[in-house]
């Protein structure tokens, strides 16, 4: 009997390990596809070529509308209860997301895409710093080193941007990175709540705030088509997959996958419209990408391979 039990336990463990591996592979592919879908985002913003208020308005209306419709279709009668149950944490996420949505568009408007995406790549490191300050979490030495290197890399990019005349956009990018880090920190503290409705509400709130300054009717023809494609297809699919995939993929692995946007986003912009990164961006970007990438690899080596844990924002 004991042999049968041991055999059953071993069989169950093997089955569990296979399920974990299958789940990890599925999560990895979902996250990878989501990141790849997202990479043309900044290029489309450049090609649509409208003022930041109009761009923010359209993004704030289109993507949240799709997210709320899909969420309502899944949750059905529980949607309103979920929204009412968001509480102060949900309201904070909505407000911070609103700041993030506007500052991102302003950053793209006033700086180079490469500068913006390099600064955004440091968001996980800023989130680690916030977890120390606000969540009283203990941070290991290598994480402190990565945070310091990331801050130094961002300082190089921003300093070069000030010299090159893109300092305002770089500062908006820094605001975007800090707001993303703040969102991750709040979600980490409120794991029991689904923050998808909060994100959607934040986008709608931003659209409402910028509406008096925006000119939605100014987009026509191909520019309107690209805007609809961006807001109704690219952004919902990308952020939907990036939300679903990391539930079965370790956070460091997600951070490595997200670096693809930092590399491919500026590449598409350079390939199509010839916008090239400056020397300071290349130098600071190398520091930031190395810090995030090496830290993610270090965390992966410390994490048990059999059962990957969900990321802080999963």
36-51 pLDDT, tens digit per residue, is 999 999 999 999 999 9
- Taking each helix axis as running N to C, give the angle between helix 279-302 and helix 123-135, from 0 to 180 degrees, rounded to the nearest 10: 60
In the chain, % of residues over pLDDT 70: 86
Is the Cβ–Cβ distance between 242 and 38 less than 8 Å?
Answer: yes
Whether residue 34 lies inside any domain: the answer is: yes
Whether residue 314 lies inside any domain: the answer is: no
Going by pLDDT thresholds of 50, 70 and 90, the confidence category of residue 305 is very low
Whether residue 15 lies inside any domain: the answer is: no
Tell me how many domains the chain contains: 1
Per the document, the length of the chain is 314
Res 91 pLDDT > 50: yes
Lowest mean pLDDT segment, chosen from 107-111, 115-119, 194-198, 274-278: 194-198
Whether residue 128 lies inside any domain: the answer is: yes
Going by pLDDT thresholds of 50, 70 and 90, the confidence category of residue 245 is low
Is the Cβ–Cβ distance between 193 and 64 less than 8 Å?
Answer: no
The structure tokens 């910028």 sit at: 210
Whether residue 5 lies inside any domain: the answer is: no
Higher pLDDT residue, 180 or 188? 180
Whether residue 174 lies inside any domain: the answer is: yes
Give pTM, 2 decimals.
Answer: 0.82
Q: Quote the tokens at residue 17.
A: 């390990």
First to last CA, the chain: 41
Is the Cβ–Cβ distance between 153 and 293 less than 8 Å?
Answer: no
Res 78 pLDDT > 50: yes
Q: Quote the tokens at residue 297.
A: 């690899």
Q: What is the mean pLDDT of residues 120-133?
A: 86
Whether residue 310 lies inside any domain: the answer is: no
- Coil, strand or helix: which one is 122? coil
Query: What CA–CA distance (Å, rounded) separates 210 from 205?
Result: 9
Is the Cβ–Cβ distance between 179 and 313 less than 8 Å?
Answer: no
Structural domain boundaries enclosing 264: 26-302
Whether residue 19 lies inside any domain: the answer is: no
């Amino acid at each position: 009997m004991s042999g049968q039990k041991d055999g059953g336990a071993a069989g169950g463990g093997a089955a569990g390990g296979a399920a974990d591996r299958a789940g990890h592979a599925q999560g990895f592919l979902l996250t990878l596809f989501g990141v790849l879908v997202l990479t043309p985002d900044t290029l489309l913003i450049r090609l649509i070529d409208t003022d930041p208020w109009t761009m923010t308005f359209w993004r704030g209306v289109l993507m949240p509308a799709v997210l709320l419709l899909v969420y309502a279709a899944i949750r059905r009668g529980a949607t309103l209860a979920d929204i009412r149950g968001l509480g102060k944490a949900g309201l904070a996420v909505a407000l911070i997301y609103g700041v993030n949505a506007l500052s991102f568009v302003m950053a793209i408007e006033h700086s180079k895409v490469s500068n913006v995406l390099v600064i955004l790549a440091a968001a996980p490191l800023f989130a680690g710093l916030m977890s120390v300050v606000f969540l009283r979490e203990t941070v290991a030495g290598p994480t402190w080193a990565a945070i310091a290197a990331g801050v130094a890399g961002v300082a190089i990019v921003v300093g070069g941007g000030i010299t090159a005349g893109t300092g305002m956009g770089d500062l908006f990018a820094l605001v975007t990175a800090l707001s993303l880090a703040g969102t991750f920190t709040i979600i980490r503290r409120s794991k029991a709540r689904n923050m998808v409705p909060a994100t959607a509400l934040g986008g709608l709130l931003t659209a409402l705030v910028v509406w008096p300054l925006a000119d939605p009717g100014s987009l026509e023809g191909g520019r309107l088509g690209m805007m609809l494609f961006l807001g109704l297809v690219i952004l919902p699919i990308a952020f939907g997959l990036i939300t679903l995939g990391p539930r079965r993929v370790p956070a460091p692995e997600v951070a490595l996958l997200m670096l693809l946007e930092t590399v491919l986003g500026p590449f598409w912009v350079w390939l199509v419209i010839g916008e090239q990164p400056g020397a300071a961006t290349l130098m600071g970007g190398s520091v930031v990408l190395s810090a995030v990438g090496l830290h993610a690899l270090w965390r992966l080596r410390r994490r048990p391979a059999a059962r990957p844990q969900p990321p802080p924002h999963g």
